[in-house]
Amino acid sequence: MRDDGDPKMSVRPRPPAPPIRLGINIDHVATLRNARGGRHPDPLRAAALAVEAGADNITAHLREDRRHIGDDDIERLMASLRVPFNMEMAVTPEMLAIALAHRPHGVCLVPERRQELTTEGGLDVVDHVAELAPFIAELRRAGIQVALFIDPDPAQIRASAEVKTDAVEFHTGTYCEAALQGDPPTVARELTRLVEGARAAASAALEVHAGHGLNLDNVGPVAAIPEIVELNIGHFLVGEALFIGLGPSVARMRATMDAARQGLRHSDTEMSVSGA
Ligand code: PXP
């Protein structure tokens, strides 16, 4: 649009989006190790390589059944990591005690069912406000940043603000699955939900993260959402590492995310109506 000199209407560059962090989920390195027992491949070695290749954080999910990451891994990660550690965990007294004992930089609260292959769907915050609010308060009192893994749903976002979490992590599984199935209408609908959800969460002063099912083909539009400041990615990168190595796998993701963010910075301008 043309700026024709009216001081009340001008085209202003949007403030630059904050840089986006990449958290690498190392659970599946532990899955492979546990297939044979023993110590190889060691998730800590994977964490070190990921950081060297451009990861900002390391994420691991301590599940109730310890199917991949174990208690000993959490101890070793806490002792050796030089970047923030994000522990994914269920809302249980056992996990609360472990988090309070180790005090990771952050925790991401996720729903957990024993039978599921991976985390299917987000937390139902709306129906668990009374249980979540004190749980979150206790973690925050210990200096731990709390994120809630939720679907990008307006009611869940409002409830997340109500329980006073620091951040939300949007479950991108439906978007990623639609992209995989070649279903453009669902991809478009899910992206809109992510864009609008990110805006709503940021205006409620919540930090916005996203993850689940992201890969090199589908990450761009999510990384370009300016309010999203962190992506957590695991399965694709560990799988890809079998073919090209973990360092290059992480480095390619880092470059793809940064390019999406860069495109946003260069092209995204907005009309602003100023009364000043
Ligand atoms: N974020 C959360 C909260 C998760 O539970 C998972 C899966 O463990 C991820 C991100 C990463 O998903 P993926 O392994 O599909 O990249």
pLDDT digits (tens, 9 = 90+) for 240-267: 999 999 999 999 999 999 999 988 644 4
| Centroid of ligand 1 to alpha carbon of 171 (angstroms) | 8
**Predicted local distance difference test score (pLDDT) of residue 276:** 28
Question: 26: pLDDT confidence band, cut at 50, 70 and 90?
Answer: very high
CB of 170 within 6 A of ligand 1: the answer is: no
Nearest CA to ligand 1 atom 5: 119
Statement: residue 274 has pLDDT above 50: no
CB of 122 within 6 A of ligand 1: the answer is: no
Q: What percent of the chain has pLDDT over 70?
A: 88
Q: What percent of the chain has pLDDT over 90?
A: 84
| Centroid of ligand 1 to alpha carbon of 139 (angstroms) | 21
Statement: residue 153 has pLDDT above 60: yes
CB of 88 within 6 A of ligand 1: the answer is: yes
Summarize pLDDT for 130-140 with one digit per residue, the tens: 999 999 999 99
Question: 121: pLDDT confidence band, cut at 50, 70 and 90?
Answer: confident
CB of 169 within 6 A of ligand 1: the answer is: yes
Of 2-11, 158-167, 170-179, 222-231, minimum mean pLDDT range: 2-11
pTM exceeding the 0.85 threshold for the entire prediction? yes
Q: What angle do CA 218, 237, 251 make, to 5 degrees?
A: 90
25, 189, 33: which is closest to 118 by C-alpha? 25
Summarize pLDDT for 177-207 with one digit per residue, the tens: 999 999 999 999 999 999 999 999 999 999 9
Backbone angles phi, psi at 2, to 5 degrees: -85, 140
Summarize pLDDT for 96-109 with one digit per residue, the tens: 999 999 999 999 99
CB of 69 within 6 A of ligand 1: the answer is: no
The catalytic site residues sit at 61, 88, 212
For residues 203-229, average pLDDT: 98
Distance CA 248, CA 245 (A): 6
Contact status, residue 152 vs residue 161, Cβ threshold 8 Å: no
| Centroid of ligand 1 to alpha carbon of 248 (angstroms) | 20
What type of residue is 56? Answer: D
Q: Across all residues in the chain, what is the average pLDDT?
A: 91
Distance CA 80, CA 44 (A): 8
Domains defined along the chain, listed by start = 19-267 (3.20.20.70)
CB of 89 within 6 A of ligand 1: the answer is: no
Distance CA 229, CA 171 (A): 14
For residues 15-39, average pLDDT: 93
The ligand 1 atom at the shortest distance from the C-alpha of residue 209 is 1
Summarize pLDDT for 37-75 with one digit per residue, the tens: 999 999 999 999 999 999 999 999 999 999 999 999 999
**Predicted local distance difference test score (pLDDT) of residue 16:** 72
The ligand 1 atom at the shortest distance from the C-alpha of residue 25 is 11
**Predicted local distance difference test score (pLDDT) of residue 7:** 46
